């Protein structure tokens, strides 16, 4: 199973870099469309847009409509939960009747579980008690398959960058961590939000962060040729090894081969060192 993981496109319509952010997003989708073998799914781990506005989501939906693989989204702190629902509910994967955008995708060898850590008005994440109960129900609904969990806020200590903790409270992060570790079937946790590559552990579960797609907001040092080229992750699952993550640089010239580097989910990307 091949998962293309993108995050933090932060689309806007009226900032000086608005066109750049749109270009980064569209180029990334074009790059994913050209993958051979193709991605089975694309997961966007939030901050899809920057101000949560319907007109921003209309632009984002238009870009994602060009993706060849099915696209799954979850909200980040810059997103508006209600407007995410309006923009993407027609795709049919949001669980009905739940206040939060927490859901499972069942069609693949690895179950994909997306979690909603948005706390309106707060840049940090939250994970409520009722969400932990729902997550345990989602995990227990299928007893055999491995599970990959996607969140916006990383539920592990990110030791690069100024901020190590990305949840409002230790309790909310502990609730999520406990629910993730309980079954032993969660084999990876993939997040965004930090705008730079990072890797860590949640107990024995490997966890990683993908850089932001918006190159104007990306953290960390990149050589000049890469400064305007978005980076995303391709997570390939092998039943014997688990996930191996490739950090892929989007090519700006579709006739040129894209640069590729292989990284382990256990090692921080060289692009950030």
Among 24, 31, 40, 47, binds Fe ion (CB under 5 A): 47
CA dihedral 172, 177, 178, 181 (to 10 degrees): 160
> Is there binding between residue 191 and Fe ion (CB under 5 A)?
no
- Return the range that interacts with Fe ion (CB under 5 A); candidates 35-43, 165-173, 192-200, 253-261: 192-200
Q: Which is nearer to Fe ion, 74 or 263 (CB)?
A: 74
Smallest separation, CB 193 to Fe ion (Å): 4
Q: Which is nearer to Fe ion, 47 or 272 (CB)?
A: 47
> Is there binding between residue 200 and Fe ion (CB under 5 A)?
no
Residue 88 CA to residue 99 CA, distance in Å, equals 15
Site string for Fe ion, 137-176 (x = CB under 5 A): ----------------------------------------
Residue 141 CA to residue 191 CA, distance in Å, equals 23
> Is there binding between residue 76 and Fe ion (CB under 5 A)?
yes
> Is there binding between residue 193 and Fe ion (CB under 5 A)?
yes
Q: Exposed/middle/buried for 232, CB within 10 Å: 0-12, 13-18, 19+?
A: buried
Q: Which is nearer to Fe ion, 87 or 217 (CB)?
A: 217
110, two tokens = 């690895």
261, two tokens = 């580097």
Q: With beta carbons less than 8 A apart as the criterion, state whether 100 and 86 touch.
A: no
> Is there binding between residue 77 and Fe ion (CB under 5 A)?
yes
Q: Write the CB contacts of 220 (distance below 8 Å, at least 6 apart in sequence).
A: 160, 196, 197, 211, 271, 272
Smallest separation, CB 253 to Fe ion (Å): 30
Bridge partners of residue 247, in order along the sequence: 233, 261
Residues at the contact surface with Fe ion, assessed by CB under 5 A: 47, 76-77, 193
């Amino acid at each position: 199973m091949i998962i293309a993981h993108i995050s933090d496109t932060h689309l806007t319509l009226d900032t000086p870099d608005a066109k750049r952010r749109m270009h980064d997003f569209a180029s990334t989708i074009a790059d994913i469309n050209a993958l051979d073998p193709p991605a089975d799914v694309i997961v966007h781990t939030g901050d899809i847009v920057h101000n949560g506005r319907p007109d921003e989501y209309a632009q984002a939906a238009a870009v994602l409509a060009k993706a060849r693989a099915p696209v799954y989204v979850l909200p980040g702190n810059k997103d508006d939960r209600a407007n995410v629902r309006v923009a993407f509910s027609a795709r049919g994967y949001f669980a009905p009747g739940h206040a939060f955008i927490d859901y499972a995708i069942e069609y693949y060898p690895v179950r994909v579980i997306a979690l909603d850590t948005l706390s309106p008005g707060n840049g940090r994440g939250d994970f409520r008690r009722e969400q932990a109960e729902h997550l345990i129900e989602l995990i227990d609904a299928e007893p055999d398959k491995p599970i990959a969990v996607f969140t916006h806020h990383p539920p592990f200590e990110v030791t690069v960058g100024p901020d190590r903790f990305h949840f409002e409270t230790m309790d909310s992060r502990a609730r999520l961590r406990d629910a993730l570790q309980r079954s032993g079937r969660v084999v990876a946790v993939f997040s965004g939000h930090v705008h730079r590559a990072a890797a860590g552990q949640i107990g024995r579960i490997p966890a990683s962060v993908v850089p932001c797609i918006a190159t104007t907001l990306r953290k960390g040092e990149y050589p000049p040729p890469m400064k305007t080229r978005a980076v995303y992750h391709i997570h390939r699952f092998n039943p014997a090894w688990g996930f191996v993550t490739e950090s892929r640089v989007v090519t700006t010239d579709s006739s040129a081969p894209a640069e590729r580097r292989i990284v382990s989910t256990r090692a921080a990307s060289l692009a950030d060192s």
